[in-house]
Each structure stands twice: as C-alpha cells, then as structure tokens.
Amino acid sequence: MSIFSTMIATATAVATFLLLLTLTSANGPNRHFNKIYAFGASYVDTGNTNATTAPSIFRYASNLPYGRTFFHRPTNRYSDGRLVIDFVAESLSLPYLPPYLNLEADTSTGINYAVAGSTAIEHEFFVENNLTLAITPQSLQTQLSWFNKTLEGLNCKSAKSTSRECRAVFRDSLVWLGQMGSNDYTYTLRSNVSAETIQRLAIDRVTRFLEAVLNKGAKYIVVEGLPASGCLAISLFLSPASDRDDLGCVASVNNQRFIHNTILQANIQNLRIRYPKAVIVYADYWNAYRSIIWNGPRLGFQELYKVCCGAGGGPYNFNLAAICGSQSASSCQDPSQYVNWDGLHLTEAMHKVLSDLFLEGPFTYPPLKYLLSRKNDSN
C-alpha cells in the first residue's frame, strides 16, 4: 500500500472540511493561555534573524516585498505576512510573539526563540563535516539555552528542585515547537553525510529538547512534524522531472519527510507514557500541507508550485540567483492565490489555512481541543 493511500481515501472528507474553513470564521481556542514559548526555524521566526545575520539565501528578508500583505513592511518574517505562530497567538487573544533577541520587547505574554536556518543538530556537527557555508550557527540547542536563561530569570531550574517556581511558569504557558530537521537535510544534500545519519541525529535532538522542557515542568506542548517539502518550488526546481509523486511534488523528498515524521511520532508517544501529566500534541504538517495541495483550487490557491516572489519564469518562477527581495525579482499581484511565497517559504494565505487545520481541524493528534480541555480541567 502506498504511503499516500490514506490521504487519497479521505480526500473527499478533507476537501469538505477545508471548504467549510473558507466559508466560516474559526473561533479558535480563545484565551486559555497567557504565554507562548515558540521554537523552530524560518517558518516560525518572527525576527531573530535579519539581513545581516540570516543565511545568505535569506539575506533579502529585511526588504520589501517581505511583510507587504499584513504588516506592510518587512518584519524579518519569511513570508508576505503572518505565520502559523502569529495565527496561533491571535486565536489565544495574545499579542504576536516578540523575538528573543529583541531585548527591548515586552515578554510578558511569551517569547519566540525560533531562528531562520537553524538546525535540529548542533552546529558543531556541520563544522566537523565542512558544511558551514551559508549555515546559521544557531541550532535547537542554542534556542534551548536561551530558554533556560529565561527560566533562570524566573527562578525555574527544574520541576523537581524548584517545583513551585516552574509550576508558576508553565501552568498557563503553551510550548510550540515548529518543524525542525528540514534544514539539516538540506544542508547535507549531495554531501558525504547520509540521510539516515541526519534522520537519526535530528530526531534524537528534537526528542532531547522535548525531554528537557518536560523536565523543566512544561505541561502543554505542540510539536510540528516536517512539512511535505517536496512541494516547494526549490525542491521541484532542483530535482529531475522523473522524481514526482501523485501530487506532482518531489517524491524522494516527501517520502523522506514522511519516514522522519513516523519515527518522531513514535518518540513522542514514548514521551507521553513517561510524562503522563503533560499533554503533547503532534501537528501533522506533512498531511496538512498535502491536503491543501490536493484541494488547492477549492481554497482559492490558483498557483500550487509557482512562487509569488521570484524571477526566472518557467513553471516555478524560481531562480537561486535572483531570489525574492533582490533587484532581479518581483512579486505577484495577489499572494493569496499562491502557496509558495519565495520558493522556500509560504504565503500568509497558506499559513492561515495551515493554522486553521491545526487549531480547528483533523491534523493534530490528539486534537488541540483535547489539550485545551485538559488545560481547563487543571484550573
């Protein structure tokens, strides 16, 4: 049986749900938390990188047209507007999360530690393998060290040694871990480092991160799986036309991410058993992404693979030598009709539908509403 068979079998039901999302306004989970602590890479980063600190391929994210749709200015988000984490904050009636490196920001309602280009595996691994070109030095371990500094300032050392202080931090806090590992695979592409090595190490590092925050006392955690990155313009641009799946995306990339997610989910289930007082929700980014591609026109997406902001024409309008924000690139008139923003990142419209699927839909396990009910029962 193909790994896509379940997806195909439920396509009609998912299509109906997605259509309803376009016709109704999701109420969201409302104000169940007073803080969000977010981690991840460029799909979550709300400003920890900029033109001078980001990987070279991201060096124009401090320029328009980035940010044009909602903020009407660049905010160092890797999109034309809001990200999934922004819509999550809105649904919880919280302000958008300030980046950790903005030392003047109000952090009373949470902090975003995500860094564009960051890896699950520590940077030293890439140095040892001579893979440091255009790679950000911040990893998930860096983000954890930043988080630990925040917790130290709140006198939270561990759930055992400072139980009262840590309970005060996490009682009303949501921990959101965006997808981590895609950059690890990308940075080692065509190197001597095997994909199997990356899979093993990246999943191990994410699991260790989750163990660390659970030992601090985290009670409510959402973990995103890897997206179907084979549907991104950069993957399609770099792969042979023979390497395609049932949706026209790069089969080898999507298969790799699917297997990665399967192992990650098994580790998450083990953590649920070890930490029964915590609620760990898995956000199925892979299937959510694919469901949107499958039902794109119903959702108003007329361009599923071509980038809104880029250059080069052709089927993808993507050129690594003329990326979004550079003088050679231009942006489309209506980004809401596009899934791909710049070939590596998504449009605000895509982030919005994804957030709806996570907050209200069938792509979180257990459902996010279960986490919220557990939260309410504990009050």
Q: What is the pLDDT of residues 79-105, one digit of tens each?
A: 999 999 999 999 999 999 999 999 999
Residue in 294, 282, 369, 274 with CA at minimum distance from that of residue 339: 294
DSSP code, position 241: T
Residue in 72, 198, 69 with CA at minimum distance from that of residue 129: 198
Percent of the chain with pLDDT over 90: 81
Report, as an integer, the average pLDDT of 240-259. Answer: 97
Kindly tell me if the per-residue pLDDT of 32 is higher than 60.
yes
- Res 356: pLDDT: 96
Please calculate the CA angle 120-2-270 and round it to the nearest 5 degrees.
Answer: 40
Q: What is the pLDDT of residues 209-239, one digit of tens each?
A: 999 999 999 999 999 999 999 999 999 999 9
Dihedral in degrees, nearest 10, Cα atoms 370, 372, 376, 378:
70
Report, as an integer, the average pLDDT of 321-335. Answer: 94
* Residue 6 burial by Cβ neighbours in a 10 Å radius (0-12, 13-18, 19+): exposed
Strands 110-112, 173-177: pairing is unpaired
**Half-sphere exposure of residue 313, counting CA atoms within 13 Å on the CB side?**
0
- Res 29: pLDDT: 52
Residue in 249, 260, 247 with CA at minimum distance from that of residue 316: 249
- 307 contacts 318 by C-beta, under 8 angstroms: yes
Report pTM.
Answer: 0.92
- 60 contacts 77 by C-beta, under 8 angstroms: no
Report, as an integer, the average pLDDT of 186-208. Answer: 95
Q: What is the pLDDT of residues 55-78, one digit of tens each?
A: 777 778 899 999 999 999 999 999
What are the tokens at 80?
Answer: 């034309």
3-state SS, residue 103:
coil
Kindly tell me if the per-residue pLDDT of 320 is higher than 50.
yes
Crossing angle of the two packed helices 163-170 and 195-216, in degrees rounded to 10? 110
Residues belonging to the active site: 42, 342, 345
pLDDT band for position 52 (cuts 50, 70, 90): confident
pLDDT band for position 196 (cuts 50, 70, 90): very high
- Res 38: pLDDT: 98
